[in-house]
Amino acid sequence: MPREKPPYRYWGSWGGPPWFSVILEVTAEKLPYLAYRIGASSADSTDAGCALRSALSKEEAMAESELYKKGTAIRSKLMGAKYAENMNKSVSTIHHEEIRRLRREAVFGMLWDRPGLDLKTKALICVVSDTAQARWPELAIHLRMARNQGWTRTSSARR
């Protein structure tokens, strides 16, 4: 009598149980964060990390373009200089330096600097958009920006 095949039809084509793909997805989602944590600790403690860090020093990584300078100015204006400075200190790895530069140039230097709407209106749009999409961590940052742009507690609550 031929051996019966095990009931793999619910296990997907590669033979794993259905919940395993969920675990894989969640792990893949967390990977950048895990890599960041591992990178941050190894860059601080190991020789390789130190060498890598000195090879691409902060000054080198932050070769400031005009767009970058403009972005930095707008960012400080929106967030408040002290808060923006504190956020700078919290980022340490080289990958984050690159992302930071991109974000500073593209988001703050180009997007926030576009003509047409003033910063106050743009800040409110971000607050509304974050609320509509349930982006709570981003909302906290954008609320701070809106507050710094002159929206009061009462006026922002009404909207």
Kindly tell me which of 28 and 134 has the beta carbon lying closer to another protein: 134
Backbone phi, psi, residue 112, to 5°: -70, -20
For another protein (CB under 8 A), the number of binding residues is: 19
Query: Are 63 and 102 within 8 A, CB to CB?
Result: no
Burial label for 112, CB within 10 Å (0-12, 13-18, 19+), is buried
* 156 near another protein (CB under 8 A): yes
Kindly tell me which of 70 and 120 has the beta carbon lying closer to another protein: 120
Binding mask 99-138 for another protein (x = CB under 8 A): ----------------------------xx-xxx-x-x--
How far is it, in rounded angstroms, from Cα 77 to Cα 83?
10
Residues 74-103 that bind another protein (CB under 8 A): 82-83
Q: Looking at this protein, which amino acid is placed at residue 52? A: L
How far is it, in rounded angstroms, from Cα 138 to Cα 80?
16
Residues that bind another protein (CB under 8 A): 82-83, 127-128, 130-132, 134, 136, 139-140, 143-144, 147, 153, 156-159
